[in-house]
């Protein structure tokens, strides 16, 4: 049984619902989103599922991080935009 999610204290509904994506670093040090077969960025509702997908797609890199040091893969929490920029109207003058 999973423990309940903690509130982030942001005062809005859904503040505890986090989404995650996975990234991999290339040989030049540039981080890139991992995409599915359809070309869309892979997004997960659960951090454990994101980590499992990362280990499944890049097993050698994930294992190397345990022993050789250096970080080449990561799971990123996707933050929700709190305002409607750039769609909001400019302030009235």
C-alpha distances out from residue 12 to 8, 16, 76, Å? 9, 9, 22
Ranges under pLDDT 70 in the chain = 1-16, 81-91
Domain ranges (residues) in the chain: 19-78
Q: State the Cα–Cα distance between residues 35 and 28, nearest whole angstrom.
A: 19
**pLDDT tens track for 25-46:** 998 999 999 999 999 999 999 9
Return the sign of the alpha-carbon dihedral for residues 35, 40, 46, 47: positive
pTM: 0.65
């Amino acid at each position: 049984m999973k423990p309940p999610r903690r509130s982030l204290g942001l005062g809005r509904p859904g503040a505890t619902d986090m989404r995650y994506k996975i990234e991999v670093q290339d040989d030049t040090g540039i981080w890139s989103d991992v995409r599915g077969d359809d070309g869309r960025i892979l997004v997960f509702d659960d951090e454990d599922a994101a980590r499992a997908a990362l280990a499944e797609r890049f097993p050698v890199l994930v294992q190397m991080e345990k022993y050789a040091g250096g970080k080449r893969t990561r799971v990123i929490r996707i933050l929700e935009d709190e305002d409607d920029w750039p769609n909001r109207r400019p302030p009235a003058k």
